[in-house]
Amino acid sequence: MKKGKKWLLAGLMVLLVTGAFATGHYAGAASKTPGGISDPLVTLGYLEKRLATQCNSMEKVKLEKGENLIGAEGTEIILLGGSVTAAGGGLVDVTQGSLTKENTSMFLYHNYIVTEKGAGCEALSACTVFVSGEYTVK
């Protein structure tokens, strides 16, 4: 390879690396606030500590497959294990900031609030939930 082509190739490589670095930096890869709004990564330890703190005021409820937990308006539900779907109306997924419609799967460790009378969750398998507020199991 000629000397001029080597310099051209080296110059292109430097531009490529510089461009990749600048793009990553602009996209937030070098964020100074990990865990903030721009970088919402959460560790399992943080989540468990946060749930333990919040769940001191909550009741641990075990549901068998096919049972429904129906809450009063404002009742909070957090799924700890198993598989459930929203039942009897809408729930607000506070963790995600969205409405969970009836027959939609609920996510582990998400905080749901019952928005209308008769709403809650149906167990698709044996499961455990934390509940804060008035509820009945059918």
Output the average pLDDT for the chain.
83
Same domain, 3 and 64: no
Identify whether residues 97 and 116 lie together within a single domain: yes
Average pLDDT over every residue of 116-125: 93
Looking at the structure, tell me whether residues 3 and 70 fall in a common domain. Answer: no
- Domain range for 6: 1-36
Residues 49 and 5 in one domain: no
What is the helix, strand, coil percentage profile of the chain, to 5?
25, 30, 40
Residue where the block lists tokens 């404002």: 74
Q: Report the run of H or E that residue 11 belongs to, with start and end.
A: helix 3-26
What's the whole-number mean pLDDT along residues 35-45?
67
Residue 11: its pLDDT value, please?
79
What's the CATH code of the domain at 131? 2.60.120.10
- What is the C-alpha to C-alpha distance for residues 127 and 78, in angstroms, rounded to an integer? 11
pLDDT at position 45: 77
Rounded distance, CA 60 to CA 65, Å? 16
Is the model's pLDDT at 27 over the cut of 90? no
Does residue 23 register a pLDDT over 90?
no
Q: Are residues 48 and 98 in the same domain?
A: yes
pLDDT band at 13 (very low <50, low <70, confident <90, very high): confident
102 and 54 in one domain? yes
Q: Which residue has the tokens 């609920």?
A: 106
- Whether residue 48 is found in the same domain as residue 111: yes
The answer on 120 and 93 residing in a single domain is yes
